[in-house]
Structure 1
Amino acid sequence: MTVPQGRRSSTFTRLLRHGFITPSTAERLLDTPELAAVRSDPVLLDALGATADPDLALLGLVRLIEAQPDDERQTLINTLVTAKPLRDRLLGVLGASEALADHLARHPTDWQALVTYEAVDLHPGVADFERGLADADDAVALRVSYRRCLLSIAARDVCGTTDLIETAAELADLATATLRAALALASAAAPEDAAACRLAVIAMGKCGGHELNYVSDVDVIFVGEPVDGVDEGKAVQAATRLASHMMRICSETTVEGTIWPVDANLRPEGRNGPLVRTLSSHLAYYQRWAKTWEFQALLKARPVAGDQELGRAYVDTLSPLVWQVSERDNFVSDAQKMRRRVVAGIPVGEVDRELKLGPGGLRDVEFAVQLLQLVHGRTDTALRSPTTLTALADLADGGYVGRADAFQLDEAYRFLRSMEHRIQLYKLRRTHLVPDDEAGLRRLGRSLGMRSEPIADLGREWKRHASAVRRLHEKLFYRPLLDAVAQLAPGEAGLSADAARERLVALGYADPAGALRHLEALTAGVSRKAAIQRTLLPVLLGWFADSADPDAGLLNFRKVSDALGKTPWYLRLLRDEGAAAENLARVLSAGRLAPDLLMRAPEAVALLGDPRGLEPRPGRQLEQEILAAVSRASGAEQAVTAARGVRRRELFRTTAADIIGSYGTEESPAEQDHGALIDRVGSAVSDLTAATLGGTLRAVVREGWGDTLPTRFAVIGMGRFGGHELSYGSDADVLFVHEPREGVSEEEAARAANSVVSEMRRLLQLPSADPPLLVDADLRPEGRSGPLVRSLPSYAAYYRRWSLTWEAQALLRAEPVAGDADLAARFIELIDPLRYPPEGVGEEAVRDIRRLKARMESERMPRGQDPTLHTKLGRGGLSDIEWTVQLLQLRHGWAEPGLRTTRTRQALAAACAARLIGGEEAAILDEAWILAARVRNAVMLVRGRAGDTFPADGRELAAVGRYLGYDPGHLGDMLDDYRRTTRRARAVVEEMFYGAAL
């Protein structure tokens, strides 16, 4: 039929005004014979325009009318015209869900499920849904009946007859009824199994919490027991077959699609554990092996199908364990780390669209509420609801959460869950991603009542609620601790002192009373300083709790704040530069070394707020700054004090960058190249040591001889110093060399050189709270028996006549670090033939090196030390790897230029490139060297003093583990990983160093 142009234009305009995106298509659909009786009815057009997607609703309506049996079509059309409730329900569903429109097209009489609009129909329960599923005698029929019930839930939801909480509860009740129906089908298929056991189905997750989504995995746990006269093993096998069949009935795809996956992975041992356990087996697992998150999951456990008595016994038996979990060490930090891992696992391109798992998403609300429940529900039984919003309201009623915060979080959670429901309802697919297409965003916004500018309004509201969730997620747990130490207004709810201490213990604070005193001191009063501290501390407390020593973090923060609190820039920096506050929290709670350095130079906090402030400074810049400070000093001791000040600040810069790089942040998890990180630390500490020695040398010369020393003088770095591999606690191995100036006698020059060395060592050993800088010259000719300093000709004579193999090996790490550059270069020229001998060292020399190494292994290992955990001398440790690399250098350095380096990792890479060692073997040695070096640095960072093995103290060991990336509950894994890595390295050493491979 041809539509007159005037009518077409009028209809076209009306359709646009009612929200149709493709009015030309809508016109054609309205002109189909199926809609002839209603197309001129303005009420229908208004009803279509009120839906989330009028185009989708109209298309679904046409398909539904077309699919009607001839004798039912007129009934549907008449009902559409006369029954507004039905019209609104049906069109509302068709405009919101393409999947349910498909269902109605396949089952055209199911629209009649929407006819009834009585009070009893508004809030059906499990029994009502069971009646709706009663006729389903196989898996296909169950799917059809399930969708019919779902149709009614969706209709009440999109029309606003039920709110979010009621809809989620109805979905959980429908899931319960469906599980029961599926279990009945499985039992009917295997009556002998059903007769041999008692099987209870425990709902977990959102189903257990009575807050299910439209499309979600239904998490369950199965409990089985034998009936009288049946062997337990056979009963469990029968129960397992029933449970497996029940899961397949729900999860498998048929001609009618699927219902939802039944997921049993929350059971003990996850997918690796048995599907069904007895109650006693469950109890034994949770008492001995369960992790924190598994108890957190049990918060929502609810018996839903099967043997109800057994199900109730399961919940009653395990519930006491749930409310004891907050007493575990690292309870909160375990939960927080799990949350960070969830965020880190989201694909980068999806983070900004993730409603559930992303920052500011639904999981943030659920985690915060569950943590508060587990901490305070131990003593307050009113807090044990498995439903998120009910629990949140209970927390507010009990004073554990401020009422304004609870209201805002409730509002945000409802909005985000409503978004999630509408997204899933469209195609009935399990997703938590916000659409990224205009049509999808428009439909979603309109489904939530946003009609004028649905896309813009949706984005604005989503951003507002997500921001509120992110802020409150931190605030809910930590801010009430400040309220506990503040003077609250009469009648205002707040944590009691006991509740505050309880929460601090759960956070990992060993001295909660001390922590409360620190909080009171930091936040007391009405000053601007106290106000800013009250803003900062809720977040800082969370970062401290994420460390191995929260008490130390809070105490150190108080000390720094006492030192800098009146400095205008300090608190402003922490308040305005988000990274600065987190960086400071990480540094202050990571051990003793960095905080001790900061306490002596608190102004170095400013480095934490500068994006480039933690980058190591080039050695030349350090040397120039120290030399300038020395030149301004009035004497040698004052000059060295000034040089130490620079060293202190730069050590803090290096330690802070190391800690922050190893810890990472919630937004940017640590994914560091550990080799690059350890190289950066080694270079930075070595450059700083060289600059400090250079400044000390300048100070000594200036005070004793003015501008010119009677002899040229140079300092040669040896060992790790020469290799640019100093750790925080390493001594500086050096050689001193001099050369008399023209006209100066050998005796006078020697006296001057010895005086310089003695005075340098004296000044560097003056008492100081800074980490010591010990200069060790024991690698000089004749060792401790030889003179501290020699002239260049003396070195030449000694090396020509007396040099031993170990001295040539030691010279592999020789590199100029301070003093006369020309003299140092000639020293290097002198020793090159010794350390890179033509044709390489001979077999006798190789045997000498191997014998010396073997003797060192047997004699130098400290008594009582575990050789598998000693980073320097232990199996596969630094010494093993370095000696192997050095033997390669001694044998092949003359022919391979890449081997002529003082740096271990560079030499190893060059040996691999020259095919002197296999790629896999080189990688094994490199990994072990990096790990051992990181452990040494970690020990110094944590304890404030050097050590070559893992600490025995539990808290210190946990801090080392945190630096290395291990959660507190996995310190055994850390030691096992270290042993495994170094064991593999030792096997390579056995072959390459002691075997014939070289």
Structure 2
Amino acid sequence: MTAAPGRRSSTFTRLLRHGFTDASAAERLLDSPELVPLRDDPVLLDALGATADPDLALLGLVRLLEAQPGPGARRELLDTLISSKPLRDRLLGVLGASTALADHLTRHPEDWQALVMYEAYDLHPGVEEFEAGLAEADDPVSLRVAYRRCLLSIAARDVCGTTGVAESAAELADLATATLRAALRLARAAAPEDDALCRLAVIAMGKCGGHELNYVSDVDVIFVAEPAEEADETKALRAATRLASHLMRICSETTVEGSIWPVDANLRPEGRNGPLVRTLSSHLAYYQRWAKTWEFQALLKARPVAGDLELGEEYVAAVQPLVWKAAERENFVPDVQKMRRRVVENIPAAEVDRQLKLGPGGLRDVEFAVQLLQLVHGRTDTSLRSGTTLDALGALAAGGYVGRADAAQLDEAYRFLRSMEHRIQLFRLRRTHLVPEEEAELRRIGRSLGLRTDPVAELLREWKRHATVVRRLHEKLFYRPLLDAVAQLATGEARLSAEAARERMVALGYADPASALRHLEALASGVTRKAAIQRTLLPVLLGWFADSADPDAGLLNFRKVSDALGKTPWYLRLLRDEGAAAENLARVLSAGRLAPDLLLRAPEAVALLGDGDGGGLEPRSRAHLEQEILAAVRRADGAAQAVTAARGVRRRELFRTAAADIVGSYGTEEQPAEADQGALVDRVGGAVSDLTAATLAGTLRAVVRDGWGDSLPTRFAIIGMGRFGGHELGYGSDADVLFVHEPRDGVDEREASQAANKVVSEMRRLLQLPSADPPLLIDADLRPEGKSGPLVRTLTSYAAYYRRWSMTWESHALLRAEPVAGDEDLGRRFIELVDPLRYPADGLADEAVREIRRLKARMESERLPRGADPKLHAKLGPGGLSDVEWTVQLLQLRHGAAEPGLRTTRTRQALAAARAAGLITDEDAATLDEAWVLATRVRNAVMLVRGRAADTFPAEARELAAVGRYLGYGPGHAGDMLDAYRRTARRARGVVEELFYGITER
């Protein structure tokens, strides 16, 4: 029968509107005799349009109607379709999503009636309901038919949205369980004599064991058997092996009804090379002696499903303790991580971008991350011991092991990826995890997931989005540095019970274990999420604190920081999730007083210890610092508030520098101690000098703005001197400076001088206001005439003084002069003025050399503290900073005019230039450089440890040990450190005596 042209045109348009891609073919199908009663029914088109593939659903419906055994059966189906919306949605939904199930219905046309029921008990069937559905199967062929009939109902609920992806996966696992039981029933019936000899248990593994099976998947199992009463063990195992083999054949072999699924027993001990069936004791012996890490990971999902369930439960109970101790195996975490990388590496290159399961950002990334976290933390937290990925992820989030937002994103992504996987497999019931490339297939998958506007583009976009999230969070969780550290703890240590904690405190060297336990109780007691995360962190942190010279101080400081940031949501999340943040914090809090004091005054600076947007521990440039401080000054009300704001930036950046110094010196699991100690010293000196320059620039701007607006009557510049000008400031160094100004056009010099002096006085006053922050003292004693001369001079006055009165020591001091703040042009002209003095064209006269030597000798005799051991004085002692710097500076004064490389304010750069110019041998240069770096590190270490500056090693044993730890010496090796310092300084002194004092014998 052919439709009239007018109606055909109208139907054609309606078909396109309902999602048909081949409207002409659909029209022909609708005109077929079987569909005459439904041809003009709009309900049918609406139902077809709601399916994943309307063309496929319509074709399947026609085939199903044609396959009905007679007119009566066909009428029954049509009447039910018209009257029952649930059946209509279920049947058409399946036909539009799966050609394989459409084929099954064509072969077994009465099975559509399995979809009629829509009662409460039909919505979420379990193992018992599926067993009832398979009960009449008495051979492998009928078992396959019954299995597909049950599968039909699962797919119908799935595609109609009655069940979610997790529920569908659980139903598939329950159907697999029922099928294994039915197959074992058939195998036993075929060999009752074997059944009488043994007790056989089937243990589901993998996705079946985890209650999260795919539509088409190998069903992983392990077989365990015991002899029946009075049976011989050898005969019993042979009988059990025959039963197990028969069960596998029943499920795996292909018949006219196809296959069910392969049963895979390769997860058993020794894999395919091992016996198919073992006794319980044989399994345990293997796992205790020979099992590899991945085998314990696999046992995480072990679940008895068929056969002797009592024996199966005994098996699971016996292996579970081994599973939850697996994380304590040597290299456990790295082994699991390597295994995941190998899986990715073995994917064919042509498939990587299409792999939904194994590729980067795929299902395995979620599963491996969750399983690794379970195995590490599940040792002590039994709530994590679920074999189901999403349940375990939820437990990890509830316990604080994974951030809620991260867990929610992973959950959403996993559900989406599993839904894609289900729809891909459901189409032909084939085992595949590759996303198809054909547009028609992508369109069907997209529509089946509810994407209707542009199904292909939306599907690919959503897949990419979820895969990106999965990969990011997999990298974050799976390679979390804290994880390996937690895994290395013994179970008792990880549990952190009171008694275990006390014993561990004593063993780790805590001097006051009672106080330490009180801190632990305050931090980790209770049922809050905060306490749960602390219980994860603390066992590891205790070990890191113990690696320092003062574990008690580390734990106390950690409690103070935690109390200060207790209500800040990001703090514990940072320590748990963010790179090496937890270990960095532990090192910083236990390394001495300076860094913890800085942090406790600004606890939010903890964020710098992670890898996020806080900038990490890399020092910020002077330009960046100056920009931030000047912006803070602009916002402030008055100069005092502006300087307070500048101090706040300085405090944070001093902490950043100190923390980077400590981490670079101590090293962490993620980042070993930095080998180039010179680079560490240069980084600290440069960072502190840049920070000081930016702070002075901000203070200068605040003072000028308060007193004169933006029109100071004189140009003003600050010249860094000494270590400041040399970019070599330490944590406690004063800022040596000169102040220079130049009256603006039309301004009286007296007025300009008054303004300049007022600026200097106000800057010094503001910077010396009482504060808990480390002081920033401005020292202008290197100015002309020293303390008796004016604080600030005009450029002309400097020129006149240096022309007429300059002394040798002033030329020497000017070697470090460098503009640091204020008017850049004025600073540049000052440097042009002093260059001829510090790099004299004719070199240095003999009398000048003798004068420099006398000055150095007098300085050492007058300034060396009484009672101090000169050989251990890092600044003035033999081979110390003064020796090296004056030797290098003498070379600069003598040869700077001829050698451009010597024209630098930095000691190490000048020394390298002298070596390059042949003024010093490579060996002597290396000796001086080593001594200078070591002496600088000693001064930095003392400041970090004691919180105040000093030039010699501390006398107190714990402080001395802390300095040793900073310098790379372990417990009990303080004497070795002192011997090494004396040795290095002695060698340097020999070079100084020859190059500086002219003594040729060493």
TM-score range, shorter chain: 0.5 to 0.7
Check conservation: 2:365, 2:470, Cα contact below 8 A. Answer: yes
Alignment of 1:215-254 (within 5 A): 215-254=216-255
CA distance in 1, matches of 2:270, 2:79: 58
Q: Give the aligned partner of residue 167 of structure 1.
A: 168
Alignment of 1:86-235 (within 5 A): 86-235=87-236
Q: Which moved more, 1:384-393 or 1:275-284?
A: 384-393
Aligned residues: 631
Check conservation: 1:331, 1:506, Cα contact below 8 A. Answer: no
Check conservation: 1:544, 1:585, Cα contact below 8 A. Answer: no
How far did residue 150 of structure 1 move? 0.1
Check conservation: 1:598, 1:604, Cα contact below 8 A. Answer: no
Q: Give the aligned partner of residue 680 of structure 2.
A: 599
How far did residue 462 of structure 1 move? 2.3
- Structure 1 unaligned runs (5+)? 546-550, 576-582, 607-632, 636-698, 708-754, 773-942, 946-998
Do the aligned partners of residues 605 and 509 (structure 1) sit closer, same or farther apart at CA in structure 2, a change above 3 Å counting? farther
Q: Which has more radius of gyration? A: 2
| 1:31 and 2:193 matched | no
Q: Give the aligned partner of residue 577 of structure 2.
A: 538
Q: Give the aligned partner of residue 46 of structure 1.
A: 46
CA distance in 1, matches of 2:362, 2:161: 24
- Structure 2 unaligned runs (5+)? 486-518, 585-589, 597-607, 629-655, 657-663, 688-837, 841-890, 900-916, 935-966, 970-1002
Do the aligned partners of residues 55 and 559 (structure 1) sit closer, same or farther apart at CA in structure 2, a change above 3 Å counting? closer
CA distance in 2, matches of 1:465, 1:195: 52
Check conservation: 1:332, 1:507, Cα contact below 8 A. Answer: no
Check conservation: 2:401, 2:576, Cα contact below 8 A. Answer: no
CA distance in 2, matches of 1:147, 1:599: 69
CA distance in 2, matches of 1:559, 1:219: 41
How far did residue 562 of structure 1 move? 9.4
CA distance in 1, matches of 2:544, 2:276: 34
TM-score of the aligned structures, taking structure 1 as reference length: 0.55
Alignment of 1:842-857 (within 5 A): none
Do the aligned partners of residues 562 and 418 (structure 1) sit closer, same or farther apart at CA in structure 2, a change above 3 Å counting? closer
Q: Give the aligned partner of residue 16 of structure 2.
A: 16
Letter in 1 for 2:426: L
Q: Give the aligned partner of residue 537 of structure 2.
A: 500
Do the aligned partners of residues 565 and 145 (structure 1) sit closer, same or farther apart at CA in structure 2, a change above 3 Å counting? same
CA distance in 2, matches of 1:391, 1:270: 27
Letter in 1 for 2:135: A
Do the aligned partners of residues 8 and 492 (structure 1) sit closer, same or farther apart at CA in structure 2, a change above 3 Å counting? same
Check conservation: 2:81, 2:87, Cα contact below 8 A. Answer: yes
Letter in 1 for 2:65: I
Do the aligned partners of residues 593 and 376 (structure 1) sit closer, same or farther apart at CA in structure 2, a change above 3 Å counting? closer
How far did residue 415 of structure 1 move? 1.8
How far did residue 31 of structure 1 move? 1.0
Alignment of 1:948-959 (within 5 A): none
Q: Which moved more, 1:299-308 or 1:511-520?
A: 511-520
Check conservation: 1:400, 1:494, Cα contact below 8 A. Answer: no
Quick one: percent identity of the two aligned structures? 65
For residues 348-387 of structure 1, what are the alpha-carbon distances to aligned partners after superposition, in whole Å with 9 as ceiling and x for unaligned?
Answer: 3322322222222222222222222222222222222221
Check conservation: 2:581, 2:609, Cα contact below 8 A. Answer: no
How far did residue 23 of structure 1 move? 0.5
Check conservation: 2:530, 2:572, Cα contact below 8 A. Answer: no
Do the aligned partners of residues 363 and 562 (structure 1) sit closer, same or farther apart at CA in structure 2, a change above 3 Å counting? closer
CA distance in 2, matches of 1:559, 1:238: 60
CA distance in 1, matches of 2:244, 2:547: 45
CA distance in 1, matches of 2:452, 2:418: 20
RMSD across aligned positions (CA): 5.1
CA distance in 2, matches of 1:542, 1:132: 56
How far did residue 758 of structure 1 move? 11
How far did residue 456 of structure 1 move? 2.4
Q: Which moved more, 1:80-89 or 1:561-570?
A: 561-570
Alignment of 1:414-813 (within 5 A): 414-476=415-477, 478=480, 493=530, 495-502=532-539, 538-541=577-580, 564-567=618-621, 589=670, 594=675, 599=680, 602=683, 759-763=921-925, 768=930
Q: Give the aligned partner of residue 297 of structure 1.
A: 298
Check conservation: 1:220, 1:263, Cα contact below 8 A. Answer: yes
CA distance in 1, matches of 2:624, 2:414: 36
Do the aligned partners of residues 585 and 209 (structure 1) sit closer, same or farther apart at CA in structure 2, a change above 3 Å counting? farther
Letter in 2 for 1:499: T
For residues 220-244 of structure 1, what are the alpha-carbon distances to aligned partners after superposition, in whole Å with 9 as ceiling and x for unaligned?
Answer: 1111111233322222222122212
How far did residue 200 of structure 1 move? 0.7
SS of the aligned residue for 2:256 comes to coil
For residues 139-177 of structure 1, what are the alpha-carbon distances to aligned partners after superposition, in whole Å with 9 as ceiling and x for unaligned?
Answer: 222111111110011111111222222211111110001
Do the aligned partners of residues 562 and 390 (structure 1) sit closer, same or farther apart at CA in structure 2, a change above 3 Å counting? closer
Q: Give the aligned partner of residue 72 of structure 1.
A: 73
CA distance in 1, matches of 2:339, 2:544: 15
For residues 806-828 of structure 1, what are the alpha-carbon distances to aligned partners after superposition, in whole Å with 9 as ceiling and x for unaligned?
Answer: xxxxxxxxxxxxxxxxxxxxxxx
SS of the aligned residue for 1:215 comes to coil
CA distance in 1, matches of 2:544, 2:138: 52
CA distance in 2, matches of 1:467, 1:199: 45
Do the aligned partners of residues 246 and 79 (structure 1) sit closer, same or farther apart at CA in structure 2, a change above 3 Å counting? same
Do the aligned partners of residues 173 and 534 (structure 1) sit closer, same or farther apart at CA in structure 2, a change above 3 Å counting? closer
For residues 287-335 of structure 1, what are the alpha-carbon distances to aligned partners after superposition, in whole Å with 9 as ceiling and x for unaligned?
Answer: 1222222212211110001111110100011111112222233332222
How far did residue 588 of structure 1 move? 8.1
SS of the aligned residue for 1:224 comes to strand
Letter in 2 for 1:599: L
Check conservation: 1:360, 1:468, Cα contact below 8 A. Answer: yes
SS of the aligned residue for 1:36 comes to helix
CA distance in 2, matches of 1:506, 1:444: 51
Letter in 2 for 1:133: L
Do the aligned partners of residues 496 and 159 (structure 1) sit closer, same or farther apart at CA in structure 2, a change above 3 Å counting? closer
For residues 120-154 of structure 1, what are the alpha-carbon distances to aligned partners after superposition, in whole Å with 9 as ceiling and x for unaligned?
Answer: 21111111111211222222221111111100111
Q: Give the aligned partner of residue 372 of structure 1.
A: 373
Do the aligned partners of residues 599 and 94 (structure 1) sit closer, same or farther apart at CA in structure 2, a change above 3 Å counting? same
Check conservation: 1:125, 1:173, Cα contact below 8 A. Answer: yes
Do the aligned partners of residues 288 and 449 (structure 1) sit closer, same or farther apart at CA in structure 2, a change above 3 Å counting? same
How far did residue 599 of structure 1 move? 3.0
Letter in 2 for 1:44: L
How far did residue 48 of structure 1 move? 0.5
CA distance in 2, matches of 1:316, 1:165: 26
CA distance in 2, matches of 1:521, 1:360: 39
Do the aligned partners of residues 409 and 333 (structure 1) sit closer, same or farther apart at CA in structure 2, a change above 3 Å counting? same
How far did residue 42 of structure 1 move? 1.0
CA distance in 2, matches of 1:760, 1:392: 60
Letter in 2 for 1:538: D
Q: Which moved more, 1:187-196 or 1:416-425?
A: 187-196
How far did residue 412 of structure 1 move? 2.1
Q: Give the aligned partner of residue 401 of structure 1.
A: 402
TM-score of the aligned structures, taking structure 2 as reference length: 0.55
Check conservation: 2:443, 2:455, Cα contact below 8 A. Answer: yes
Q: Give the aligned partner of residue 4 of structure 2.
A: 4
Q: Give the aligned partner of residue 361 of structure 1.
A: 362
Q: Give the aligned partner of residue 288 of structure 2.
A: 287
SS of the aligned residue for 1:540 comes to coil
SS of the aligned residue for 1:349 comes to coil
Letter in 2 for 1:498: R
Do the aligned partners of residues 20 and 386 (structure 1) sit closer, same or farther apart at CA in structure 2, a change above 3 Å counting? same
CA distance in 1, matches of 2:556, 2:436: 49
Letter in 2 for 1:241: R
For residues 608-655 of structure 1, what are the alpha-carbon distances to aligned partners after superposition, in whole Å with 9 as ceiling and x for unaligned?
Answer: xxxxxxxxxxxxxxxxxxxxxxxxx999xxxxxxxxxxxxxxxxxxxx
CA distance in 1, matches of 2:686, 2:365: 31
CA distance in 2, matches of 1:4, 1:158: 35
